[in-house]
Amino acid sequence: MTQSGTIRAGMGGWTFEPWDTSFYPDKLSKAKQLHYASRQVPTIEVNGTYYSSFKEPTFVKWANEAPDGFVYSLKGNRFVTNRRVLGEAGDSIMRFLGSGVAALGNKLGPILWQFAPTKKFDPDDFEAFLKLLPEKQDGVALRHAVEVRNDSFVVPEFAALARKHKAAIVYADHAKYPGIADVTGDFIYARLQTGNDDNPDCYTPKALDEWAARAKTWAEGKVPNDLSRADPSTEAPVKPRDVFVYFITEGKVRAPFGAIALMKRVAG
């Protein structure tokens, strides 16, 4: 049997008003929503860290509320990525990573650095940014993922830079943004953003079957042959990789059920 990495599927955050009735049990208090959500899915992407700063006690609380094996991915603060010169983001990166994220310990998953759709690929500046990303914070290993949303990044030079600095390129299943499936890091990060609330499981059964198959392919260290790449001529080394898949944005009401349905397919 081929050894494979661990596949985890989840959604963005755990507080969303429609989930009070669609996802959470009746009369469950808001204070217990994280405890419940972290036992339905094995990972959650935290969006709040993009907009505001949190302190170490909050990360300690999150770590304590989630079960063993659960992993949070954190969206890097917007003050890092929403700037004209990325190479000047060093202080903001240190401030974000030094705010207490290491308190998550082995529950700290990838850090997602998301860029505006207007941000175009500037090889020198983007490499300057990648050089600023540390491998560790307070003794805890860091994994970095970059989500670019401008077509100018769909070039071999971008994939080569990400590969050189071991940053994973986020694969976005999105109506407008480019999908870049080059494997450039030691893990895979996919954001599924074309779901629909009319589907009980966010995506159709056929689409979920396809994403489960891709997740298994990624976990075994290969690249799905039906997704486009920026640099099709370069193959990533075949080795098991952890896979993070998040159901985000469109179809948010049903997003948790999409993650649960994908995990069932992966296990089955």
- Overall number of domains in the chain: 1
Q: Which domain holds residue 113?
A: 7-267
Cα–Cα distance, 144 to 187 (Å, whole number): 9
Residue 25 lies in a domain: yes
- Domain with residue 117: its CATH number is 3.20.20.410
pLDDT of residue 2: 54
Residue 259, SS3 per DSSP: helix
Cα–Cα distance, 260 to 267 (Å, whole number): 11
Residue 1 lies in a domain: no
Q: What is the largest CA-CA distance in the chain?
A: 54
Cα–Cα distance, 203 to 193 (Å, whole number): 9
What single-letter amino acid sits at 182? D
Q: What is the DSSP string of 158-213?
A: HHHHHHHTTPEEPEEE-SSSPP-----SSEEEEEE----TTSTTSS-HHHHHHHHH
Residue 2 lies in a domain: no
Cα–Cα distance, 251 to 266 (Å, whole number): 21
Please state the rounded mean pLDDT for residues 158-162: 98
Residue 28 lies in a domain: yes
pLDDT surpasses 70 at 1: no
> Average pLDDT over the chain, rounded to whole?
96
Give residue-wise pLDDT tens across range 171-213: 999 999 999 999 999 999 999 999 999 999 999 999 999 999 9
pLDDT surpasses 60 at 20: yes
Give residue-wise pLDDT tens across range 231-268: 999 999 999 999 999 999 788 999 999 999 999 999 98
pLDDT grade for 65, boundaries at 50, 70 and 90: very high
202 C-beta neighbours (distance < 10 Å), count: 29
pLDDT surpasses 70 at 106: yes
Cα–Cα distance, 169 to 146 (Å, whole number): 5
**Which among 65, 67, 75, 54 is positioned nearest to 12, based on CA atoms?**
75
Q: CA angle, 191 as apex, 65 and 218 as ends, to 5°? A: 95
pLDDT surpasses 80 at 159: yes
* Percent of the chain residues topping a pLDDT of 70: 99
Give residue-wise pLDDT tens across range 124-142: 999 999 999 999 999 999 9
Q: What is the pTM of this model?
A: 0.97
Cα–Cα distance, 165 to 22 (Å, whole number): 41
**Which among 135, 145, 147, 64 is positioned nearest to 106, based on CA atoms?**
64
